Structure 1
Amino acid sequence: MKIAAIDIGSNAARLLITEVTETTGNKVEFNKLNLVRVPLRLGFDVFEKGLITDHRFNMIMQTMHAYRHLLNVYEVQHLLACATSAMRDASNSQEIIRKVQQETGIQIEVISGDFEASIIYENHIAEYLDTDHSYLYIDVGGGSTELTFFADGNLVFKKSFNIGTIRLLKNQVGDETWNNMKEFLKSNTKGFKKIAAIGTGGNINKVFSLSKKKDGKPLTLDLLRDYHKELSSVSLEDRIRLYKLREDRADVIVPALQIYVNALRWADADEIYVPKIGLADGLVQHLYDEVKKKKQLQEVRE
């Protein structure tokens, strides 16, 4: 079965095409066929002007047409397309959704921050890690940060805050919002086993890549602090040149590190695992589960 997910974030849009194979013993394998990322940077319009400008509107349409061609070529049977913080805030998001549906047949759903947090958790990474820790998922995007806490085999909370990399670049995050996140984390992670974090999103994946750590090994809070200090001390041009970063990564990586460092500090965690997954992976997992449920219901009715 070929399924796909589209994640339209505040910084980039991603299309993930996956082949799902059900093996003996009810085991399910997810084989990534293609991942396409387009830096639409919608948040730069929305968090400043409140809407998506004609230029970026056109970029979205071109991207969705391209995605539709790829979906057809790969003969994808099931698709889930979701948009997050920038489209949540854009006053003209419904107009864009209508046009995309009309021209490409792709139905975009604008999801809430809480639902976004639960989708990240659908990857179930913490279930495969040791039971000596509690785990805090931290997913940093351009417009928001999603926090999901997993302890003693249970989902304790999922919470979204309007603290994102593009909002920080645009000076749109006030002290009150930071304090809300700080107080929430401090009060809701107390009294559990030692916390390790699980980081998702393009920025933490890039930091992990820069660190040259082996897959499966965590990054320490001190290392994240060092990278934040190091990267923020050089110009954007030098970040691109010295660290071989794309321009649309070089500007957001510093505020992303600030968010990860603060979240780790406030949860009293000193390391973060980076499993190289993102919202699109969680959406694929969620879509597969939904398709399977429908199939089972149909079989019961028949």
Structure 2
Amino acid sequence: MLRYAAIDIGSNAVRLLIADITKDETGYGFKKNTLVRVPLRLGDDAFLDQKISDRKIEDLLKTMTAFKNLMDVYHVTEYLACATSAMREASNGADIIARVKKQTGLTLEIIEGQREANIIYSNHIEQTLDVKKSYLYIDVGGGSTELSVFVNKAPVASKSFDIGTIRILDNQDKEETWEDMRIWVKEQTRNYKNLAGIGTGGNINKLFKMSNEKDGTPLTFLKLKSMYNQLNSYSLKERINLVGLNPDRADVIIPACEIYITLLKWTGIKQLYVPRVGMADGIINLLIEENLS
């Protein structure tokens, strides 16, 4: 049995996905075996102080040691470990990578926004798309939002913006970045009629689950807006106790809604499809492409 692992070191959480590789007549795929998520919040340090604190480095080293042990026990043959926005901005990112390598033997790669977007597309959502529609693909993370426009199932434009949930919570999002995103999105989508949205990332996956919509049906703009208004009317404590959100989800879900709602408003998109995949799934797909096809 072939097993691959994906490590996604995000600005909010760090994830390990261990997947069993499957094969049928259409080619290779995977089945999720184990998913571990640790809410480290590296972004809080990176966006406020431009470096990751000793305490968080210790936590990250412990997490990577645990991930390495799990990968050994599961007999993982290939892995890819990617660090995104928080580690891109931390002045001590390279030192941390060296320490992880020394202590655990794991090689981490700090990836640029464009590579992050490409990894997320390795999920090949476009294969399930309706050719008659054009799509704005929105992936919202803790430190950045990756946007792409898909026409006829192919990406025609993509860009990463430093707007993310942790960044907004820490008041580190800049007015001019929002403006750059608005101009870019208007520019790239204005020629396409029949535009729909695709949303990926932990927050939109959670919102979709909470919406009780059936898999494959879109989340409407109005439904998203009403969910946002309801969640926003609660205090953080109520979102944890009444709604049952994890403490590390209860705060970021609000800025995530704001990013999606703003983008849908700017583009006039009424429907958002949520395929419930993310960065870790993309990494596994990328490993399959690189090693098996």
Q: Normalising TM by the smaller chain, what interval?
A: over 0.9
Give the counterpart letter for 1:153 in structure 2. Answer: K
Q: In 2, Cα distance between the equivalents of 1:29 and 1:143?
A: 29
Q: Supply the distance in 1 between the matched residues of 2:155 and 2:132 (Cα, whole angstroms).
A: 16
Measured in 2, the distance between the counterparts of 1:111 and 1:268 equals 31
Which residue of structure 2 aligns with residue 32 of structure 1? 32
Provide the TM-score with structure 2 as the length reference.
0.97
The residue that corresponds to 1:151 in the other structure is: 151
Report how far residue 26 of structure 1 moved.
4.3
Is residue 9 of structure 2 the alignment partner of residue 8 of structure 1? Answer: yes
Question: 2:28–2:288: 8 Å Cα contact kept in structure 1?
Answer: no
My pick for the range that moved more, 99-108 or 121-130, is: 121-130
| CA distance in 1: counterparts of 2:226 and 2:193, whole angstroms | 27
CA RMSD of aligned residues (A): 1.1
Q: Deviations over 1:130-169 (max 9, x none)?
A: 2121122111011000112110232111110000001101
CA-CA distance at 1:174 after TM superposition = 2.1
Distance 2:274 2:26 in 1: 27
Alignment of 1:42-191 (within 5 A): 42-191=42-191
Distance 1:154 1:209 in 2: 28
Whether the 8 Å contact between 1:132 and 1:193 is mirrored in structure 2 is: no
2:129/2:153 contact within 8 Å kept: no
CA contact (8 A) 1:151 1:193 kept: no
Residues 39 and 248 of structure 2 are in contact (CA less than 8 Å); yes or no, is this contact kept in structure 1? yes
- 1:192-211 matches, cutoff 5 A: 192-211=192-211
The aligned residue for residue 249 of structure 2 is 249
**Distance in 2 separating the partners of 1:142 and 1:184:** 21
Number of residue equivalences: 292
8 Å Cα contact 2:21/2:30 also seen in 1: yes
- What is the CA deviation profile of residues 81-114 of structure 1, one whole-angstrom value per residue up to 9, with x for unaligned ones? 0000000000111111001111111100000011
Q: Could you say which residue in structure 1 is the equivalent of 2:20?
A: 19
User: What is the TM-score of this pair, normalised by structure 1?
Assistant: 0.94
Contact 1:231 1:239 in 2 (8 A): yes
* Structure 2 unaligned regions, length at least 5: none
Unaligned residue ranges in structure 1 (runs of 5+): 294-302
Q: Does the aligned pair in 2 maintain the 1:196–1:271 contact within 8 Å?
A: yes
1:227-278 deviation line (CA, Å, top 9, x unaligned): 2222122210011111100110001000000001111122221111111100
Contact 1:138/1:147, CA 8 A, preserved across alignment: yes
Inter-partner Cα distance in structure 1 for 2:135 and 2:88: 28
How far apart in 1 are the matches of 2:29 and 2:284? 12
The C-alpha deviation readout for 1:10-60, integer Å capped at 9, x for no partner, is 00001111111222x342231111111000100111111111101110110
Runs of 4+ in 1 over 2 A off after TM superposition: none
Q: Is the 8 A contact 2:97 2:107 kept in 1?
A: yes
Which moves more between the two structures, 262-271 or 5-14? 262-271
Aligned residue type for 1:8: I
1:171 is displaced (CA, Å) by 1.0
In structure 2, distance between residues paired with 1:191 and 1:26: 35
2:223 equivalent in structure 1: 223
> 2:22 corresponds to which letter in structure 1?
T
